[in-house]
Amino acid sequence: MNIDPAITGVRLKEYRCTLTWRQTMNYAAAIHDHNPWYFDDERAGGIIAHPMQAVAITWPIFEHFQDFIPEDGILLDALLTQVHYTEHLCFHRQP
């Protein structure tokens, strides 16, 4: 299969979600990371989310990838043949 190099860098449709303090604490507890920044709600600035929680947050995109592909963008057939992939997350503020 020939894959058009033009698909490199194609952006997916926007995805938004709400992250609650309970979800951030549950995630940190589930991965056994007991850093007080993830649990101490009396800490100046409050609790923050574990950085790797971003992967869990974006999982619905990968479950329904076809819904996030721009109509003129990526070939779904090419994506289904991937062995490895990368993900680039840009944080504009602390989750």
How far is Cα 75 from Cα 8, in angstroms, rounded to an integer? 11
Residue 68 in domain? yes
Q: Total domain count for the chain?
A: 1
Residue 2 in domain? no
Residue 61 in domain? yes
Helix count (H) and strand count (E) of the chain? 4, 0
pLDDT of residue 54: 86
Element (DSSP H or E) covering residue 76: helix 76-80
Residue 10 in domain? no
pLDDT of residue 40: 94
Q: Using one digit for the tens of pLDDT, what is the confidence trace for 33-83?
A: 999 999 998 999 889 999 889 888 888 888 888 788 777 655 666 666 766
Domain around 61: 16-80
Residue corresponding to tokens 């819904």: 67
Residue 63 in domain? yes
With bands split at pLDDT 50, 70 and 90, how would you rate the model's confidence at 22?
very high
Residue 38 in domain? yes
Q: What pTM was estimated for this model as a whole?
A: 0.67
Phi, psi of 5 (to 5 degrees): -65, -10
